[in-house]
């Protein structure tokens, strides 16, 4: 949620973020508002963003029941749709795809909030004369995977996603070429080391998953050797290198009983390469293993290694499930491995990330008692726009980044469900009663709180208006909220429909930095 660009919804779970980049693409005659920022910066790189949506969709497809049990499915669907809506916008013609907004060089020179961006928002596209098969095929994969996710929830939207996925894949395959040759602005930041053949196989595999159309499986089988799918034995799965993912997806077809006929030999080769990856991860590959740290963490690359850990764990887990469903085992050079043993290794990696490591430190921000509090993220390291409304300039944010205490909470407020606690009609006008409970978990007094209220069509009573549109203060009699204290207020809205409301920001008395309070909505 912290990475979303554009007009943010009122029910967002990261309350310290505001609307941003509301004119992306306009100067070039296209609407590119929305989508996701890349990392701690504000460039929208289409290649890694599409991979993220593909993986999130795959996760929903494999673990939908678990997400329902964890009350996380709707948020996952919203996150996927936020990405796919943007990809649909970016696909303005059958053979045109806008794949980047923003300039990495100038963006990285500044440290400012997304709401204050002052750097160029130039948009870049690929087309028939400037091909980019990697990013096009990955976008097709994302849309196809998402189409399969939404098939049971919104069939018309799934059809729309598939239409774009098919067109974009045809574009990627017909006009072949490396995207980082066409776009020098992307080459410095996300160069394509593995080429585009893995993405073409990946895109076709996902279109087969989403449609069951044998033409896409035939495409993968015909090109398996020439594109490296059955030749590359890899120990990495990432935004750049999709071979392991393709090999696992095609192994699924074989293990599910689809290995008869013309595709049998090719699918078996895919499985052999998938098992090389699995055996290398679990350290049973005859010496050709993925490196590990002294504490036992998979160590694929020096830069941002956790991305490789998480992607490897995902493939290990889904492959173990495929084996279990087929009653089979993983056949490694060092041993024959049962699915439960693969899952146990995957769990050890997750446990390491969450704190079971030599430092007893969680590497997931906000999880556990000890975790990073100074993250390389512009929005999270500068006081929120709701706490400090003045513009933070290009260079001014570096001071906040270097501050001794984090500016925005490393563990943002949990989501809450908006509920109208009562409603009635008086003199032909609808009225609504709301109750908000805010709890100060900062460890020091909070002296200023704000509510974000969207969709008001009439007056509201019980809160104080501010100069900022849609922002309201708590009642004037509330001067502070001490550490651990709860505050409950009731306010009345006149005129419908019921407004969308969130506790947006709280500022502490000690350093006046942005501190968000834990919030919850309760029925009165």
> In the chain, how many domains are there?
3
Domain for residue 359, yes or no? no
pLDDT at residue number 509: 39
Q: Which of 292, 320, 353 is the last residue of a domain?
A: 353
Q: Which of 324, 353, 382 is the last residue of a domain?
A: 353
- The residue-averaged pLDDT of 88-115 equals 95
- Residues contacting 225, CB < 8 A, separation 6+: 231
Same domain, 109 and 139: yes
Same domain, 241 and 152: no
Q: pTM of the predicted model, to two decimals?
A: 0.79
Domain for residue 387, yes or no? no
Domain for residue 179, yes or no? yes
pLDDT band at 405 (very low <50, low <70, confident <90, very high): low
Same domain, 338 and 447: no
- The residue-averaged pLDDT of 427-443 equals 71
3-state SS of 64-75 is HHHHHHCCCHHH
Domain for residue 466, yes or no? yes
Same domain, 18 and 165: yes
- The residue-averaged pLDDT of 206-235 equals 96
pLDDT digits (tens, 9 = 90+) for 253-265: 999 987 667 889 9
Helix/strand/coil for 489: strand
More confident residue, 459 or 313: 313
Whole-angstrom distance, CA of residue 124 vs CA of residue 441? 44
Same domain, 273 and 244: yes
- What kind and span of H or E run contains 349? helix 339-353
Same domain, 344 and 468: no
- The residue-averaged pLDDT of 39-62 equals 97
Exposure b/e, 311-328, CB count within 10 A at least 16 = b? bbbbbbbbbbbbbbeeee
The whole-chain average pLDDT of the chain stands at 87
Render 185-222 in DSSP notation, one character per residue: HHHTTS--SS-SHHHHHHHHHHHHHHH--HHHHHHHHH
Same domain, 198 and 274: no
pLDDT at residue number 504: 55
Domain limits for position 231: 224-252+259-353
Tokens at 181, concatenated: 């040759």
Least confident of 102-106, 127-131, 220-224: 102-106
Instruction: Please give the angle made by the CA atoms of 13, 15 and 18, to the nearest 5 degrees.
Output: 115
pLDDT above 70 covers a percentage of the chain that reads: 86
Residue 513 pLDDT > 70, yes or no?
Answer: no
pLDDT digits (tens, 9 = 90+) for 54-72: 999 999 999 999 999 999 9
pLDDT band at 512 (very low <50, low <70, confident <90, very high): very low
Same domain, 173 and 297: no
Q: Which of 353, 387, 406 is the last residue of a domain?
A: 353
Q: Which of 42, 152, 376, 377 is catalytic?
A: 376
Residue 499 pLDDT > 80, yes or no?
Answer: no
Highest mean pLDDT among 7-11, 202-206, 422-426: 202-206
More confident residue, 129 or 492: 129
pLDDT band at 494 (very low <50, low <70, confident <90, very high): confident
Residue 350 pLDDT > 80, yes or no?
Answer: yes
pLDDT digits (tens, 9 = 90+) for 174-206: 999 999 999 988 888 999 999 999 999 999 999
Whole-angstrom distance, CA of residue 124 vs CA of residue 184? 10
Same domain, 187 and 204: yes
pLDDT band at 503 (very low <50, low <70, confident <90, very high): low
Can 15 be counted among the known catalytic residues? Answer: no
- The residue-averaged pLDDT of 406-412 equals 47
């Amino acid at each position: 949620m912290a990475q979303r660009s554009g007009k943010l919804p009122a029910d967002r779970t990261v309350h310290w973020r505001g609307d941003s980049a509301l004119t992306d693409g306009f100067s070039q005659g296209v609407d590119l508002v929305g989508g996701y920022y890349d990392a701690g910066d504000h460039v929208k790189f289409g290649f890694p963003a599409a991979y993220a949506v593909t993986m999130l969709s795959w996760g929903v497809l494999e673990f939908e029941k678990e997400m329902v049990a964890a009350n996380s499915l709707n948020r996952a669907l919203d996150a996927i749709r936020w990405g796919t809506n943007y990809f649909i916008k970016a696909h303005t013609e059958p053979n045109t795809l806008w794949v980047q907004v923003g300039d990495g060089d100038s963006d990285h020179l500044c440290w400012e909030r997304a709401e204050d961006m002052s750097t160029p928002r130039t948009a870049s596209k690929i087309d028939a004369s400037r091909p980019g098969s990697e990013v096009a095929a990955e976008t097709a994969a994302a849309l196809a995977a998402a189409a399969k996710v939404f098939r049971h929830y919104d069939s018309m939207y799934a059809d729309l996603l598939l239409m774009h996925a098919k067109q974009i894949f045809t574009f990627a395959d017909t006009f072949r070429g490396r995207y980082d040759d066409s776009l020098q602005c992307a080459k410095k930041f996300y160069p394509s080391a593995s080429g585009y053949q893995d993405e073409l196989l990946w895109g076709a595999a996902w279109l087969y998953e989403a449609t069951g159309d044998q033409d896409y499986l035939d495409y993968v089988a015909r090109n398996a050797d020439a594109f490296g799918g059955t030749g590359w034995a890899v120990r990495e799965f990432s935004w750049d290198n999709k071979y392991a993912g393709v090999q696992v997806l095609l192994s699924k077809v074989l293990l599910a009983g689809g290995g008869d006929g013309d595709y049998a030999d090719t699918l078996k080769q895919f499985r052999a390469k998938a098992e090389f990856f699995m055996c290398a991860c679990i350290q049973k590959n005859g010496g050709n293993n993925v490196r590990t740290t002294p504490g036992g963490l998979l160590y694929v690359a020096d830069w941002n290694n956790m991305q490789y850990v998480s992607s490897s764990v995902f493939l290990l887990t889904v492959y173990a499930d495929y084996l279990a469903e087929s009653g089979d085992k993983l056949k490694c050079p060092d041993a024959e491995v049962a699915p439960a043993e693969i899952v146990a290794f995957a769990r050890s990696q997750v446990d390491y990330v969450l704190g079971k490591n030599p430092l007893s430190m969680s590497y997931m921000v906000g999880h556990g008692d000890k975790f990073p509090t100074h993250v390389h993220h512009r929005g999270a390291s500068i006081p929120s726009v709701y706490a400090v409304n003045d513009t933070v300039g290009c260079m001014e944010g570096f001071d906040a980044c270097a501050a001794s205490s984090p500016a925005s909470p490393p563990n943002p407020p949990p989501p809450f469900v908006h509920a109208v606690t009562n409603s009635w009609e008086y003199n032909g006008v609808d009225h609504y009663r709301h109750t908000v409970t805010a709890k100060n978990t900062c460890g020091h007094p909070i002296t200023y709180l704000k509510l974000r209220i969207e969709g008001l069509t009439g007056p509201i009573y019980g809160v104080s208006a501010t100069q900022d549109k849609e922002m309201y203060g708590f009642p004037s009699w509330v001067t502070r909220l001490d550490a651990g204290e709860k505050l409950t207020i009731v306010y009345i809205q006149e005129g419908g429909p019921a407004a969308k409301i969130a506790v947006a920001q709280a500022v502490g008395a000690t350093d006046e930095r942005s501190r968000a309070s834990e919030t919850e909505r309760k029925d009165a």
